Amino acid sequence: MSNLLEIDSVVKSFYMHDVLTDIYLKCQTGDIIGMLGRNGTGKSTLMKILFGTLQADRKFIRIDGEVYDQPYKIVNEICYLPQDSFLPKHMSIEKSVKLYLGKNQVQDFMEDPILQKLDTSKIAHLSGGELRYLEIKLLLNTACKFILLDEPFNGVSPILVGEIKKLILKTSEFKGIILTDHDYRNVLDVANQFCLIYDGGIKRIDDKQELVRWGYIPESRLE
């Protein structure tokens, strides 16, 4: 079954400075939308507005024809990976998996070779990269229809980046995914649609050359 997420007419300003002006974005099952943009252009702001934890001056969010003000309050509609770690440090890995996926799925989830190599059961003892991998895998395994990933490759080693990309690609068969990261090469690798937030608006990117034209990357960095 295909699901559809639409966000329209998003306007957000901070201290008289317009960050987002009339944004429209559509995501459906199977989409991996790579959202690019320079620092401070409002990528995380847009994700938080879409998730429902940040109020916008104006917004319209619709999932499968239903309009929501705060979509996160409906379980298994939308999940969000924030830039910084969100798993409570006092909790064990197993407990967090149980709370997110249910008791029956813990064993399957933990059979992952990367998680099996961990020599700790506490979230507080994981390295930054391991924690990021665990968080991403956890969110991608939920029954959520849409997943928002804010800088999923940040602070992750190249091997784990490869594993995360595989997870994203595998999960996108059943979910819609919107991701943003400054490591644009990884975003270009994994996403099947691209957009650029520029000057408060959102531009659809069909060709990598457009990223140079909009001043996101220098021509020398384009391979």
Partner 1 sequence: MVKLTLHWEYFKSTLVLNLSTSVLLAFIVYFSLMALPQPPPLYIVYIRCCMFGGPLLCLLYKEMSRKNEYYFYYNRGISKLSLFITTLSTYILTGYLLITILHYVKLA
Binding status of residue 72 toward partner 1 by CB under 8 A: yes
How many residues bind partner 1 (CB under 8 A)? The answer is: 26
| Angle, alpha carbons 122-128-131 (nearest 5°) | 50
Separation of alpha carbons 156 and 158, rounded Å: 7
**Which among 12-20, 72-80, 107-115, 176-184 is the span making contact with partner 1, rule CB under 8 A?**
72-80
Q: Which of residues 3-62 bind partner 1 (CB under 8 A)?
A: 51, 53
Binding status of residue 125 toward partner 1 by CB under 8 A: no
> How many other C-beta atoms can be found within 10 angstroms of the C-beta atom of residue 178?
27
Token representation of residue 39: 């620092």
Shortest CB 198 distance to partner 1, Å: 27
Type and span of the H or E element at 106: helix 106-110
Shortest CB 87 distance to partner 1, Å: 6
Among 66, 84, 108, 199, binds partner 1 (CB under 8 A): 84
**Which residue type sits at 210?**
E
Separation of alpha carbons 114 and 133, rounded Å: 9
Nearest to 28 by CA among 169, 133, 174: 174
Q: What is the contact mask toward partner 1 in residues 89 to 108, using x (rule: CB under 8 A)?
A: xxx---xx--xx-x------
**Which among 36-44, 59-67, 83-91, 199-207 is the span making contact with partner 1, rule CB under 8 A?**
83-91
* β-pair type (17-28, 32-36): unpaired
Binding interface with partner 1 (CB under 8 A): 51, 53, 70, 72-75, 79-80, 82, 84-91, 95-96, 99-100, 102, 139, 142, 144
